[in-house]
Amino acid sequence: MNSPTGSRTPDSPADPGAEPHGAGITVQRALELPGLRSGLPEVLSGADRLERTIRWVHAGEVPNIASLLKGGELLLTTGYGLGTRPAEQRAFVRTLAERGIAALVVELGTRFTRLPTALVETARSTGLPLVQLHREVPFVAVTEEVHTEIVNGHYALLQRAEEVHRRCTGALLGGGGVPQVLDILAEFCANPVFLETPDGQLLYAAGTGPAHADPLQVWEGMRGHHRGHPGGHQRAEPPAGTALIDVPGGGPGTGSVRARLVLLPVSASLAPVHRMAAERAAGILAVVLMQARQEEELAARGRGDFLTDLAEGRIAAGDAPAQARVLGFKQGTGPLLPVVMRLADGLSPSGGGWAVLARAVAEELASVGVPVLVGVRPVEGRVPLLLGLRSETERGAVADRVAAALRAGVERSGMQRPGVRAPVVVVGVAGGWTAASAGLRHAAETATAAQGLADRPWYDARRLDIDLLLWRLRDHPDLAAFVGRAIGPLRDHDNSARPPLLPTLETYLAHAGRKAETARELHLNRQTLYNRLARIGELLGSDLDDPQTVLTLSLALRARRLVQ
C-alpha cells in the first residue's frame, strides 16, 4: 500500500510494534525518564520487546479504549477500565495487543494493589509489554516528557534528512545530475540505491552491496523470483524491508509517476530517516528528470526546425552543412537520404511524450550504422530525418533498417495503441543538400497524403505522386463528382447487395488485369471471378480491358478514401 508520502514497504516487521531506528523514543527509554522512573516501574511481560517505538502517549480508563487507538501508543491507566472478571481482563489485553500498542502501563493503588493473574498471563501470551508502577505518578508529566522526546526525535530525523536534501541540491547547483544525487543517498543509507522506470527497467544505480559488490550485481541478484510487467519486462519481487519511493511527474495533481527510487536493505536495515531522505531526494529527481526531458525535447524540436527550414528553402544549401554539424550531424562523403515519419492522429504525443519518442527513436537508429540527424515537429505530428549514405546503392537496405527502427521507437515510447494505425514512413530521393531540401519537403507532403493507404514498412516518395496530387484536391467538389461518376454504381451495389464488387475491382487493377493472380489473391475460382468482372463492367457500362477505363477507375479508387 502507498503511504501518504509515496513511500512503500513491501513487508512489515514480525513485531507490529517494532520500528528499529524510529523517530522519537522506545519503551525502554520512556521507562528511564524521570516521570515513569519515579513510579518504580516493574516489567511483567514483553521484556524482550522494550525497543518498540512509541508513536504517542494516551491515558484512559474506559473498557473500549482499544477502539480509540491507532497503534504504537504507550497506554497509561490506573485499571478502572480493565474489568472485574478474568474474561474481561483477558479480552481487554488481547484487543490492545491486536491494535499494536507499544506497551501497557498500569499504576497500582486505588484499583489494584497487584495486577490480576489473567491480565499478566494474557500479556505474556500475546507478547504485549506490561509494566506496573508501584508509586503514583502524574500521568500529565509522563505524557509531556515522552511527547517532548518524540518531537525532538522527529526534529532530529528531519534535520538529518534535510542535510541530505541540502547536499543533493548543492550537487545539482555544482553541475551534477541524477548519478550524484543517487551517490549521496546511497552513502547516507549505506545501501545500494536504484532509479527505475515505472515498469521496472533500470535507469541508474549507485552504492555497493555486501563486500563492495557492484550495484548492478546486486540488482541482478533480485531476479530470482520473477513477476510479469507490462511490455514483457520482468522484475523480481523486492526483498523484505525494501523502500520504494515514487518520483512524481506530469505536473501537480496528475498523480503520474515518472520513475521510482528503490532502496535495498542488503548491507543494513533501512531506518525511517532513510525513507524520509529518499522522499526528499525524489522531489529533487523529479525536477532533474523534468528539466532533462524539457532540454531533450527542446533539442529535438531544434533539429526538427532546422530540417523543416531546410525543406521550406529558408536555409540555403551552401549554409546547411555547417548548421547540421553544429547539431551533431556528421555527414561523410556519400549522398543524403531524407526520411519523414508521420504519426496517425491518435498517436500524436503531448507534453514530454515528444522527448520520450525522440530518445527512443534515436536509440533505435543508433543500430542502423549511418550518420543520422533526427528531429520532431509536434504541430504536424512528424519526425523528419536526414541520413548520410555511403553510396546511393544502399538506399533500399538503409530504408528498411530505418523504417524498422522508427516503428520500434514508437512502440518503445508507449504511443502505439490498439486500434490506431501504425505511423507512415516515407523515404525520399538520395542526393546532395539541394536534393535533400526538396526531398524532405516532398516526403513530408506525401507522408500526409499516404494516411489511410495499405500499411507498408515504408513508402517510396516517388511512387506516391498521384496520391499526393489527389490529396491536394481532396476538398475540391470536382474530385467527389469524379469518384461518383467513375465508381458510383459499384458503391451503390456494395451498399445494397453481396458479394461486394469494389474489392474485386481493386485487386484486379492492382494485378494489372492478370486474372489468374487476381483469383488466387481473392481465393476465387476462375469462373466466379469472370462472373464478377462481367457484373462490374455491366454496372459501370465500361470495358475493363480499355486502357482509358483502367486509368479512370484506378484514379477513382485512389481518390475514394479522400472523399468518403
CA distance 179 to 195: 10
413 near 362, Cβ under 8 Å? no
CA distance 13 to 379: 53
What element of type H or E holds 63? none
Looking at every residue in the chain, the average pLDDT score rounds to 83
- Beta bridge pairs of residue 382: 342, 377
What pLDDT is attached to residue 228? 37
CA distance 517 to 510: 10
Model pLDDT for residues 410-467, shown as the tens digit of each residue? 887 766 666 667 889 999 999 999 999 999 999 999 998 888 788 899 999 999 999 8
CA distance 352 to 293: 6
407 near 420, Cβ under 8 Å? no
Q: Which residues of the chain have pLDDT under 50?
A: 1-14, 16-22, 223-235, 251-254, 350-351
Secondary structure letter of residue 541 according to DSSP:
T
Instruction: Characterize the bridge pairing of strands 130-133 and 103-107.
Output: parallel
What pLDDT is attached to residue 330? 86
Burial 259-286 (b: 16+ CB within 10 A, else e): bbbbbbbbbeebbbbbbbbbbbbbebbb
Omega before 499 cis (within 30°)? yes
What pLDDT is attached to residue 563? 82
- The stretches of 366-394 forming alpha helices (DSSP H) are none
Cell numbers linked to 463: 511512387
Q: What secondary structure does DSSP assign to 147-182, as a single string?
A: HHHHHHHHHHHHHHHHHHHHHHHHHHHTT--HHHHH
Model pLDDT for residues 484-497, shown as the tens digit of each residue? 999 999 989 988 88
CA distance 303 to 358: 11
What pLDDT is attached to residue 501? 92
* AA letter at 75: L
* AA letter at 327: L
- C-beta neighbour count of 48 within 10 angstroms: 10
- C-beta neighbour count of 110 within 10 angstroms: 10
Instruction: Characterize the bridge pairing of strands 234-236 and 130-133.
Output: unpaired
Contacts of 370 (CB under 8 A, 6+ apart): 332, 387, 388, 389, 390, 398
Exposure of 218 by Cβ count < 10 A (0-12 exposed, 13-18 middle, 19+ buried)? buried
**What HEC string does 327-368 produce?**
CCCCCCCCCEEEEEEECCHHHCCCCCHHHHHHHHHHHHHCCC
Cell numbers linked to 172: 545539482
CA distance 127 to 129: 6
CA distance 556 to 485: 9
Contacts of 323 (CB under 8 A, 6+ apart): 306, 315
Residue (of 446, 451, 401, 442) closest to 422 by Cα position: 451
SS3 (DSSP) at 76 = strand
Burial 540-563 (b: 16+ CB within 10 A, else e): bebebeeeebbebbbbbbbbbebb
**What HEC string does 1-62 produce?**
CCCCCCEECCCCCCCCCCCCCCCCEEHHHHHHCHHHHCCCEEEEECHHHCCCEECEEEECCC
What pLDDT is attached to residue 175? 74
Q: What secondary structure does DSSP assign to 205-272, as a single string?
A: EES--GGG--HHHHHHHTTTSEEE-GGG-EEEPPPTT-EEEEEE-SSTTS--EEEEEEE--SSSPPPH
CA-to-CA dists, residue 532 to 234, 484, 489, 552, angstroms: 53, 20, 14, 19
* AA letter at 90: R
CA distance 96 to 131: 14
Set out the domains of the chain in order of their start, with CATH numbers. 8-148 (3.40.1390.20), 180-291 (3.30.450.40), 312-465 (3.30.70), 477-563 (1.10.10.2840)
